[in-house]
Structure 1
Amino acid sequence: MRRYVAKRVAHATFVMWLVATTVFFGLRLIPGGPVRTMLGQEATPQAVAAMRAELGLDEPLYVQYVDWLVDMATLRFGQSLSTSQPVAELVGQAAPRTLSIALLAIVVGLGVAIPTGIVSATRKGEPLDYLATVTAFLGVSMPAFFVGILLALVFGVWLGLLPVFGYVPPSEGIVPWLKSILLPGIAVGLPYAAVVMRMMRSSLLEVLNEPYMRTARAKGVSDRVVLYKHALQNALIPVVTVAGIQLALVLVGSVTVELVFGIQGLGRLLVDSMLDRNYPVTQAVILIVAAVMVFTNLAVDLVYTVIDPRIGYGGNQ
């Protein structure tokens, strides 16, 4: 087990280095640059050269790359090129807003997907199954930002029940905080729920049709015990895989939904920094999102042993 974890951590570290390298050089291949964005197109060559020297952009590219890698390894993200604020401070202000939406989306998604998938699988061919299947297909086909627009229109504009713009921190009250993230969280969580629900239904149907399930029923084991003690545990293994991988959908959905609801989270920070060619901020946000995705996949693999202890890792347990 230790050897497996060490191997996966090493692999995740390599992936992060690859992402960091791609982001660093990819940003610098985009036409234009932060200096022209900051000074404008009318700036003189002397002013541009002076600003490049001040920002350290006149150094050879490989020198900038090595210095940046060292800074990343020591968690020094530098300063914003446009505001001179520490990047860590900007990220620290934006991250709680994105995490609030993402966590609520996960709660909503799993809270809807797991029970609905179970009901759909145990009532195959019945009206509830058809309703759940059609709803899931609609959820998969609609992106989070579109769901957010519909929710804002119905519950914010027409009914006036919930705010549709801005974010309230928890320090100003739990209820106002929940109200400010409820619509964005549901908008991100529903497409997530649709994908997980379909996998839950398919996986549970497959397990329920296994010979040992029919044998258990033939021996007089109640349907409830068959479902919750035997079938559900085995059915959850592929569901955990899909749910973990689909966390990328939650993160991407949070980014787009923040723009719809006017929330200054990581998504808005990333878009603004890319438009300004703000290299340090853009690089930091992309790396943070990539790290969440990479290490979430690692955590999903480790959760397998909790769900099913029979699963081993090449004999190194």
Structure 2
Amino acid sequence: MKIDQLRWGIIGCGNVTEVKSGPAFNLVPGSELVAVMRRDGALAEDYARRHGVPRWYNDADQLIDDPDVNAIYIATPPDSHLEYTRKALQAGKPVYVEKPMARNAEECAEMNRISAETGVPLYVAYYRRALPYFLKIKEIIDSKVIGEIRSVHIQLHWQPYDEEVGPDAKPRWRVFPELSGGGHFHDLASHQFDFLEFLLGPVATAKGFSANQAGLYPADDIVTATYAFESGILGTGSWCFTVNKEQRVDDAWIIGSEGKLSFHFFEAYDIIVETASGVEKYHLPYPTHVQEPFIRLMARELQEGIKACPSTGLSGARANLVMDWITGKAMSREV
């Protein structure tokens, strides 16, 4: 499929689209944002006015059926990803869907089945695969500066949203499994496992424990895991979302036969490489619109008909599968 001029429509123009993604569609050559949708029409109209978008809707079907829209970005909670992806692909319009790709691996597999059946491309917003910070990590690992990789270790101990704790708590959709597929683990660890597979190849198996310790919302709030890559590299991880701000940790380590690489998945921009030769530090902040580098690659693939985009439905489904293994929800070992 080749589309010379991409005219994007957004289904679900919420917070994630304000800076991270929405403005980037107009910064890419041959790409423009022409329509947005939100169930609250007043909010959709406000978004369109503030971002200079020509049209807005409060009904997703109307946006999908808009003849001037030829590519669709789905930025709703995961419970509607399958439904909207099916409709858009069947309408012949390429889909760019937010992460996690769906609530579970089975829904991801159905989305990929529809993409294959229709021949319409499906992409997933694992934009770290295109960010300079994470590409630098891949460059270091591929150069074997730290030797052969032995193990990976992740710690994410976080209180993501203050309003989800305390007597006046107002939990958001992320902590309702029927909407998100899990909790903050599914929302954040999906980025981590996708990048680790981009960096080190497929995870062959994963096991874990999850629990709801604090009882603040329906989803589990703590997860621990072990996982093994097909290459033989082993990994561990712990995720806790009910710690105070002073205990907040976002650390990752990759241990090699000749050294160690330390980095962060969120909000910090330093990479530290330790070898017998000494310590090297790299500082690579994210761009203003973090999805822009990824959107540029996706647009190039759609416009030129070449392989350029690093995250498709097939690769995006893998993160859901690994998380399903860890939480014991996997129905299958395939996606």
- TM-score tier, shorter chain, comes to under 0.3
Q: TM-score, normalised by structure 1?
A: 0.23
Larger radius of gyration: 1
Structure with the higher helix share, 1 or 2? 1
Greater strand proportion: 2
